């Protein structure tokens, strides 16, 4: 049976001389693997350029609930990315966020709220001309809302510390060594209360941004089993500094 769905490319793996398996986070079925034949041929119906990380797609797919690998009947760009593939900073941001998403998003069932968040964030980044140096930090914070470990903000305005293990703000230093302390707690608050529209007014030094990124990656590793090490953040830090 054929189904229409939007999709976001997560990872492409060579399958044969001319074919690939693409992991795509779909609006209708969650994360799915699709076998695409002949994609590397000169006159391929589906171009490999359409299968780059975080590209946004409109798809017509065959779907079997018992299948590990699905098939695609039709595929086209939902919108053609105008700047992400060609802007050094944006492309590094996309590679980094793609690595995060590939490790963090594993559900093979529909999650339309999560899908809309990622889709709209990629579209926003592609259109944005300023205020992108903190985009990845804000994205990581907001993503936790959909992954199930968004911080408890009850004491946020009165706290000096953020306990990363338990995801709560505290007035006193936690017993664990896994926490944020001033001024990083307050910087973290700015991200929690921010929005894409007001990112331009959030100002961090390079050292503050680097520290927050490393702590956010620790936070993810604490709350996602098997999250592991992120390789691309070191290149991203170099580009943004």
Position 241 scores a pLDDT of 63
- Does an H or E element contain 188, and which? helix 184-192
Give residue for tokens 């510390």: 161
Using alpha carbons, list the distances in angstroms from residue 157 to 32, 137, 191, 203: 41, 20, 13, 19
Task: pLDDT band for 108, please (50, 70, 90 cuts).
Answer: confident
How many Å apart are CA 74 and CA 186, to the nearest integer? 48
Give residue for tokens 């990872």: 11
Indicate if the pLDDT at residue 130 is higher than 70. Answer: yes
Identify which has the larger pLDDT, 6 or 17: 6
Span 70-94, pLDDT tens digits: 999 999 999 899 999 999 999 999 9
In this prediction the pTM is 0.93
Average pLDDT over residues 24-35: 95
Position 47 scores a pLDDT of 83
């Amino acid at each position: 049976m054929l189904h229409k769905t939007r999709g976001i490319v997560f990872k492409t793996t060579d399958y044969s001389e001319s074919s690939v398996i693409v992991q795509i986070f779909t609006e209708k079925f969650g994360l799915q693997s699709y076998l695409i034949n002949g994609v590397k041929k000169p006159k391929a119906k589906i171009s490999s350029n359409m299968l780059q990380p975080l590209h946004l797609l409109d798809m017509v797919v065959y779907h079997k609930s018992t299948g590990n690998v699905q098939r695609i009947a039709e595929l086209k760009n939902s919108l053609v990315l105008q700047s992400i593939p060609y802007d050094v900073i944006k492309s590094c941001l996309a590679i980094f966020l793609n690595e995060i998403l590939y490790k963090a998003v594993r559900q093979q069932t529909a999650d339309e709220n999560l899908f809309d968040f990622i889709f709209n964030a990629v579209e926003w980044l592609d259109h944005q001309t300023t205020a992108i140096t903190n985009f990845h930090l804000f994205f990581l914070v907001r993503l936790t809302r959909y992954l199930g470990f968004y911080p408890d903000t009850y004491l946020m305005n009165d706290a000096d510390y953020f306990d990363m293990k338990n995801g709560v703000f505290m007035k006193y230093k936690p017993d664990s060594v896994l926490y944020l302390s001033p001024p990083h707690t307050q910087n973290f608050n700015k991200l929690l209360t921010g929005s894409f529209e007001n990112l331009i007014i959030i100002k961090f030094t390079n050292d503050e941004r680097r520290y927050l990124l490393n702590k956010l990656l620790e936070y993810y590793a604490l709350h996602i089993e098997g999250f592991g090490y992120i390789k691309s953040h070191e290149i991203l830090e170099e580009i943004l500094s």
